[in-house]
Amino acid sequence: MSGAPSLYARAQRRTYEILDGEVFDQTSRICEYFIASLVVLNVIAIILESVPQFHEAYAHWFDYFDVFSVVVFSIEYVLRVWSYGARYPEPEKTWQGRRDYIFSPFGLVDFFSTVPFYLQLLFPGADLRVLRMFRLMRIFKLSRYNSAMEDMLEAIKSERDSFSSAIFLLFISCLLFSSLIYIVEGQDQPEVFPSIPAAMHWFMLTIIAGWGNVDPVSFLGVLLVVVTQILAIALAAILTGVVATAYAAQVQGREALYEMEVREVLADGVVSEEEHHHLKHLQAKYGMSDEQVQAIAEQVRMEKEAAKAS
């Protein structure tokens, strides 16, 4: 291919930009708001529809709304698949971009929250509850517009060693304690500890709620229950500590990145309009407060002055 891109290629590229939202312009924002509000309305509709009185009174409206949503989401899905062909500039990579989207978590959510509706048209006898569960997946479409999930996953990933050791500890102690309580109390209370899986259920309850609904009858049983409860507190503390470290590291990482940018901008001594804009954008992206930003700028300036003086 040579020369100016064809109209088709330009339209594809533009659609990609609008839907992807990486380039932040008016159209892409409107599109984002429209889809996000439709998702929110869908979730509200799912919740309200489950109330019998509402369902009886407005069953038709819920159906119309669902058809409308499915049409919009289907158009969105098709447009996304089509336009993601323009993700990579090389023409032979058209399908790689599309595959990227289709098999990404967002792509899968988009697919499974929409397509089952058509299955229902084909096979009207399908279980409605399963269908509703798939519809509920639409709520995850929101996470495309909210970085909460991403932040959380990123934080977990950076601390995955600590998380996995906490989970490992949970796993080991679950095996150990449920076997022990089964051995110690299984004879005395066969109705609550008939097997090790039943004892595992008791263990998880104790870890989550602090009390497994069972009163031990033997001395060893009491001891085990008390140790399990202490373990529950310890696990909660470990989880809290890991999350705290992960968050603190994330915030510090962002501040360090921002500081680097400030240094770069201040390197030539002047802050151009464009650079100022860039810093503002970065601040919004990292969710930093004005005070934080000011403190960083102040520190960088101070260091420069100190360097100049010496």
Nearest distance, CB of residue 200 and other proteins, angstroms: 10
Nearest distance, CB of residue 88 and other proteins, angstroms: 31
How long a stretch of residues is the chain?
Answer: 310
| Residue 213 binds to other proteins (criterion: CB under 8 A) | yes
Q: Distance (Å, rounded) from C-alpha 228 to C-alpha 270?
A: 62
Distance of CA 259 to the CA centre of its chain: 27
Nearest distance, CB of residue 189 and other proteins, angstroms: 18
Q: Distance (Å, rounded) from C-alpha 300 to C-alpha 260?
A: 10
Compare residues 184 and 199 and give the one whose CB is closer to other proteins.
199
| Residue 287 binds to other proteins (criterion: CB under 8 A) | yes
Compare residues 43 and 102 and give the one whose CB is closer to other proteins.
43
Q: Where does this chain touch other proteins (CB under 8 A) — which range of 4-12, 17-25, 76-84, 301-309?
A: 301-309
Tokens linked to 7: 């109209």
| Residue 194 binds to other proteins (criterion: CB under 8 A) | no
Residue 193's SS3 state is coil
Tokens linked to 163: 């998380």
| Residue 146 binds to other proteins (criterion: CB under 8 A) | yes
Q: How many residues bind other proteins (CB under 8 A)?
A: 55
Among 23, 75, 126, 248, binds other proteins (CB under 8 A): 248
Q: Distance (Å, rounded) from C-alpha 55 to C-alpha 60?
A: 9
Q: Distance (Å, rounded) from C-alpha 287 to C-alpha 305?
A: 28
Name residue 145's amino acid. Y
Helices (DSSP H) in 159-218: which residue ranges? Answer: 160-185, 196-209
Q: Distance (Å, rounded) from C-alpha 228 to C-alpha 232?
A: 6
Among 10, 29, 132, 160, binds other proteins (CB under 8 A): 132
**What are the residues binding other proteins (CB under 8 A)?**
43, 46-48, 50-52, 129, 132-133, 136, 139-140, 142-143, 146-149, 151-152, 201, 204-205, 207-211, 213, 235-236, 239-248, 251-252, 287-289, 291-292, 295, 298-299, 302, 306, 309
